Chains A and B, each alone.
Chain A
Amino acid sequence: TQLLEQSPQFLSIQEGENLTVYCNSSSVFSSLQWYRQEPGEGPVLLVTVVTGGEVKKLKRLTFQFGDARKDSSLHITAAQPGDTGLYLCAGIRAGNNRKLIWGLGTSLAVNP
């Protein structure tokens, strides 16, 4: 059983479209992190969210942590080919601050 479910697993869109990627769990997390990984490279941390209902923006990327801290979303506005990559969420479950739980990722392809 996957503790962090990411959806969709694959996404192929045209340049300029908007998209949302989801990271869901039945468990409460004290924090969630979003990473992006490009081919041939390791994942790169984009953002960490720690407060229920928190919204963080990184240029065209908007990250939201659910009020109950069980889910998070990543919204990309006007996607560009440079956004192509594997988007991973990872979190620390409340009461267990040692182990980072990973989702399986959303593979995004933005076509010019």
Chain B
Amino acid sequence: DAGVTQSPTHLIKTRGQHVTLRCSPISGHKSVSWYQQVLGQGPQFIFQYYEKEERGRGNFPDRFSARQFPNYSSELNVNALLLGDSALYLCASSAGPGSPQHFGDGTRLSIL
């Protein structure tokens, strides 16, 4: 069975641009969470979606948005990119909120 897949794996953008990151959960998982991780630190929670509804939001500005589709895949959108948005963006899927999470390998976003 395929694990959590994220695309693209790497991305380079410039300040002010926007970006869309994509995530496909493990088959049967209905919850998707997005995290931002800077080098050497733990993941910082951005969003959680369950059954296509937002179930949790971390302390991130409104430039960050997300959605979940009927097939439970998800997109994370970031507008007006800043240098500080450079990070590894991780997607995790789980059977439901609070269940153990299975992570993809992330999208490495670099802002120039």
Residues of A at the B interface (CB closer than 8 Å) are 6, 31, 33, 35, 40-45, 48, 86, 88, 90, 92, 97-100, 102-105, 107
Count chain B residues whose beta carbon lies closer than 8 angstroms to a beta carbon of A.
22
**Residues of B with C-beta under 8 A to A45:** 100-102
Q: Which residues of B contact A (CB under 8 A)?
A: 4, 33, 40-45, 48, 55-56, 90, 92, 97-98, 100-106
Let me know if B105 and A40 touch, CB within 8 A: yes
Summarize B's interface: helix, strand, loop or mixed: loop
- Neighbouring A residues of B105 by C-beta, 8 Å: 40-42
Q: Are A99 and B45 in contact (CB under 8 A)?
A: yes
Q: Could you tell me the distance between the alpha carbons of A107 and B100 in the complex, rounded to whole angstroms?
A: 21
Chain A residues within 8 Å of B42, by CB: 6, 86, 88, 102-105
